[in-house]
Structure 1
Amino acid sequence: MDYVGRVPAPPLDRFIDDIYCLTGVPSHRWMNVPPMPSAHLFVNLGGPVRLRDSDPSVPSAVFTDGWFMGIWTRRFLLEYPPRVRLVGAHFKPWGLSPFVDGPVTELRDRWVPVDAVWPRALDRIRNRVGDLASATRTLRVVEEELRSRLADAPSRGLRLVQRTGGRLETSHGVVPVSALADAAGVSGNHLATQFTSHVGITPKRVARIYRFARLIVSVDALRPVAWSELAQEAGYFDQAHLSREFRDFTGHTPAEYLALRRRFPAEQGFPPDSGPMPADGFFTSPAAP
């Protein structure tokens, strides 16, 4: 597949890491996506996309239009169609809050149709993009829609979450939450309440996801991996702690993950986000719906 992405212009860049367009034939139909420090917007301009929760009690979903996803605390499986045409946005953990009405907690570990959040927006985006628009044109249309949806004045609580969340982002989740609360002049309980309201999860859990994201991008599959050193650099107690996180976040051991990356290297030209990994034909295959 071809990936074209860019960081949106201010002020959207305070809330969105990138807007991107995926087109073409996927190398792998199924992708295993671990928790990452992002909420998502997807607008599907191609064939149906299937999403399966790693929680077997949650029914799978098929998307033909567009959907929002809040931050996820467990992995999920994504099945691409034979040919992909998809535009999306990676929001920062707190980034979805100023674009939607209602509590973000309702989007945690969930997906909802775009039109349920932005009525009639999907038809407007599709009509403006058309069938033959370039990736550049498609990204511009989605960026303009996002700009029109951004709240004029973010709430006071969101500003607090944005400041402290930014420290978690730059530190890759290693700053103690107590230090964040002290620096902000608020109690730990107040900070946790604001994070839950604007992110959907507590700052401690956000830190855990950032820490794992750093670990994932630190793995160089072309070289021998010193897991104990990586564990220390990423802020884990020890290698056993790291191994438990791998199991929880990916369904694989570190050794299995490394073998997977060596068998299926990341595609050239894609962003430096090594979190999603092929799920078809290796270790486990998704159950039939």
Structure 2
Amino acid sequence: MEYVGRVPGPPLDQFIDDIYCLTGAPRHRRMNVPPMPSAHLFINLGEPARLLGPDPSVPPAVVADGWFMGVWTRRFTIEYPTRVHFVGAHFKPWGLSPFVGIPATELRDRWVPVDAVWPRSADRIRNQLGDVASAAEALRLLEEELRTRLAEAPARGLDLVRHTGGRLEASWGAVPVRALTDAAGVSGNHLATQFKSHVGVTPKRVARIYRFARLIVSVDTSRPVDWSALAHTAGYFDQAHFSKEFKDFTGHTPTEYLALRRRHPAERDFPPDSGPMPAD
């Protein structure tokens, strides 16, 4: 598949890591996606995809038009069609808040149709994007749409969450929550309440996800991997806790994950492959 992405201009870049166009035949139809520090908007211009949560008793969701996803705290599986044509956005953990107007807890660990959040919009957006010939023009149109959706004034508490969340982002979750509250001059309960409202989870959970993301992106499968050293660098000081969290987030032990990555190397210049892994 081909991934064409870029960072949107200000002020969208305060809330969005990148907007992108993903096209082509996937190397792997099913991908397991661990928790990562982002929320998502997908506009599907091709055949339906399927989304499966970690509970096998819950039927998969078939998604044809477009959907939002909040921050995920568990792994899930995406099953691509034979050919993919997505236009989307990777939001920062707090990034959806000024665009959707609903509590982030309603999007945590969920996929929600675009029309449920932006009523009667999915067909119009898909028709606009489907009429353009280039990825660059599709990204321009998506950026324009997002600019019109950005709230003019931040909701209560969003500036606090954006500032403290930015410190977690810059440190890959290494700043203690107590240091965040002391610097912001607020209580831990107040900060947790605002994070739940704008991110869907507590700052402690956001820090955990950033910490795990740092570990994953630092794995070099072409060399021997010292998991203890990587875990310590990422902020894991208890080996048993690291092993349990790694298995919870990926479904694999570190050794199994490394073997899988070596059998199926990530596609070159393909950012989504830094986290997701083949499920087939």
TM-score, length basis structure 1: 0.94
Deviation at 1:102, TM superposition (A): 1.9
Q: Is the 8 A contact 2:65 2:123 kept in 1?
A: no
| Equivalence for 1:271 | 271
| Equivalence for 2:138 | 138
Deviations 1:89-119 (A, max 9, x none): 1110000000012211111111111011112
More displaced stretch, 29-38 vs 241-250: 241-250
Q: Does 1:239 align with 2:239?
A: yes
Deviation at 1:120, TM superposition (A): 2.2
| Equivalence for 1:154 | 154
Q: Could you say what secondary structure the match of 1:244 adopts?
A: helix
Q: Matched residues in 1 for 2:132 and 2:182: separation?
A: 52
| Equivalence for 1:3 | 3
Q: Does 1:29 align with 2:15?
A: no
Deviation at 1:131, TM superposition (A): 4.8
Q: 1:185 to 1:238 in 2, by over 3 A?
A: same
| Equivalence for 1:84 | 84
Equivalence map 1:182-261=2 (5 Å)? 182-261=182-261
Deviation at 1:269, TM superposition (A): 1.8
Superposition RMSD in Å: 1.1
Q: Is the 8 A contact 2:71 2:199 kept in 1?
A: yes
Q: Is the 8 A contact 1:228 1:238 kept in 2?
A: no
- 2:52 counterpart letter in structure 1: R
Deviation at 1:240, TM superposition (A): 2.3
Q: Is the 8 A contact 2:267 2:273 kept in 1?
A: no
- 1:93 counterpart letter in structure 2: P
Q: Is the 8 A contact 1:246 1:253 kept in 2?
A: yes
| Structure 2 alignment gaps of length 5 or more | none
- 1:237 counterpart letter in structure 2: F
Q: Matched residues in 1 for 2:249 and 2:262: separation?
A: 19
Percent identity between the two aligned chains: 79
| Equivalence for 2:62 | 62
Equivalence map 1:36-185=2 (5 Å)? 36-131=36-131, 133-185=133-185
Aligned length: 280
- 1:31 counterpart letter in structure 2: M
Deviation at 1:132, TM superposition (A): 5.2
Deviation at 1:198, TM superposition (A): 0.5
Deviation at 1:273, TM superposition (A): 5.4
Deviation at 1:181, TM superposition (A): 0.4
Deviations 1:143-189 (A, max 9, x none): 11111000001124000000000000000001110110000000000
Runs (4+) of structure 1 exceeding 4 A deviation are none
Deviation at 1:122, TM superposition (A): 1.6
Q: Matched residues in 1 for 2:62 and 2:131: separation?
A: 21
TM-score, length basis structure 2: 0.97
